[in-house]
Chain A
């Protein structure tokens, strides 16, 4: 229903990627970069975001602050887009969605971990530097567990807020359920107590 009344705009990357090859080349498409030989830029994708989220000025009650969810940026790297191009795309999304429309941008990037992926590291760190809040989800250091699926580390990077140093970072553990996630402090899983 949210989709029907225009509250949710969903760009399904996989489907859309197939579409781009069956359209005349002159028509602009958000995933235009797939047709280009070199890494290109993500300006068409940004223009799609801009068009989809811009507040309506027709006089009726517009939705409040827009939220852009990007799932996920590492896929764009695999499709041949350079790390700097992805960072530029997020930069523009921030400039428009956050600064102009007072909204929020949430983006997902995968950490390549031990596999040395220079482009992914630039994307990961670059995105970290652009962010006000970083959520790192990782597995437990001790291995797999049935009742605790992982650990979430929250890092605040907003220096202008007068928070004490110790509030900069928090760690929680979590368990993923059917349509929900439950969080608890480290070592305080209900299964353990």
Chain B
């Protein structure tokens, strides 16, 4: 079963997945589609790590996991570059403690559009699915468009002032309409699936005035969220012993005997099978020994029998 993940990302960032050319205009975005079986948060974190290592500031709008859980696995160098906007703890203001981000999810998203920090920045939305389930699709799309094009509005866009928007989308939760719309907003789509325990990413690049290109990349994510690219699809896995489960001998506690003792084996070998035609048997059949009763057939014809002594096969021309 293929599960898909989409990551939304704007161009210009050194992509770990190495596209052929990198001339993306400012403000493009890339959604990443995932599924229950092939989760996409690890890939999102791996891409965030890459952005952070490039010196970018990363803003994360976190709706689905807590800040502690999201920062897990990153070292302090990376973590210092991440700004986590917490929409997880109280997104709908049920606690009424005043700790929640004012204005709810939409306002939080719009606030990201109004950033004043100079320099390239990556905005990660974890997740687009959560936003899509809680905000009207049109509002979300308009806000996303503003988010990725904020530099062009300013008028002083220099090549370094790029905004990269990364979004995590759980494909099974949405219908084709919203998926299509988000897809059209994106410059790159990464759909995750896998086989034999190995994850793969199907990447679709859309560049203006060019045909979209497809690429499939097998990869794995290391515990420190570094991305490791694999050459090709995985081979059939070699069976290897599972260290946790002690190998159980299935031949213990059986109700029947699987092995023979020496005496039993000898008795078995010396047994003649009833329908095995040996020379002794042949002799016994041909020459009935003395005292061996020969068999007789007694036949009493009744009134309806027609005894014909002629051989019925006489008229055959064989």
Chain A: interface size category: 20 to 34
Q: Which of A18-36 contact B (CB under 8 A)?
A: none
CB B140 to nearest CB in A, in angstroms, measures: 14
Candidates B42, B88, B170; contact of A159 at CB < 8 Å: B42
* Interface contact A95-B73, CB-CB below 8 Å: no
- Choose one: A91, A126, A134, A160; the contact of B173 (CB below 8 Å): A126
> What is the CA–CA distance of A144 and B220 in the complex, to the nearest angstrom?
39
Contact for A99 among B45, B68, B73, B197, CB less than 8 A: B68
B34 surroundings in chain A (CB, below 8 A): 129
Interface string of B9-37 (1 = CB under 8 A from A): 00000000000000000000000001111
In the assembled complex, which residues on chain B have CB atoms less than 8 Å from the CB atom of A126?
Answer: 129, 133, 170, 173
Closest Cβ of chain B to A67, distance in Å, is: 18
- 1/0 per residue, CB under 8 A from A, across B117-145: the answer is 00000000000010001100000000000
Which A residues between 109 and 130 are near B, CB-CB below 8 angstroms? 121-122, 125-126, 128-130
Q: Which chain A residue shows the least CB distance to B245?
A: A185
Q: Is B221 an interface residue (CB 8 A)?
A: yes
For residue B87, give the distance in angstroms from its CB to the closest CB of chain A: 10
Determine the chain A residues whose CB is within 8 A of the CB of B221 once the complex forms. 159
Which chain B residue shows the least CB distance to A128?
B36
Q: Say whether B173 contacts A155, CB under 8 Å.
A: no
> Contact flags (1/0) for A147-189 with B, using CB distance below 8 Å?
0000000010101101001101000000000000000000010
B66 near A160 with CB under 8 A, answer: no
The B interface, classified by DSSP as helix, strand, loop or mixed, is loop
> Which residues of B (15-71) have their CB < 8 Å from a CB of A?
34-37, 39, 41-42, 45, 64, 66, 68-69
Given contacts A159-B221, A162-B223, contact A168 B66 (CB under 8 A): no
The answer to whether A122 and B250 touch across the interface, beta carbons within 8 angstroms, is no
How far does the alpha carbon of A122 sit from the alpha carbon of B172 in the complex, in Å? Answer: 7
B318: shortest Cβ distance to chain A, in Å?
56
Question: Are the C-beta atoms of A193 and B253 separated by less than 8 Å?
Answer: yes
Q: Does residue B232 face the partner (Cβ distance < 8 Å to A)?
A: no
Closest chain-A Cβ to B208's Cβ sits at a distance in Å of 33
Q: Is B94 an interface residue (CB 8 A)?
A: yes
A68 interface hit (Cβ, 8 Å): no
Given A88-B92, A155-B37, 19 more contacts at CB 8 Å? A41-B92, A43-B94, A91-B64, A91-B88, A92-B90, A92-B92, A92-B94, A95-B66, A99-B68, A129-B173, A155-B36, A157-B39, A159-B39, A159-B42, A159-B45, A160-B73, A165-B220, A168-B197, A193-B250
B residues contacting A by CB (< 8 A) are 34-37, 39, 41-42, 45, 64, 66, 68-69, 72-73, 88-92, 94, 129, 133-134, 170, 172-173, 197-198, 220-221, 223, 237, 250, 253-254
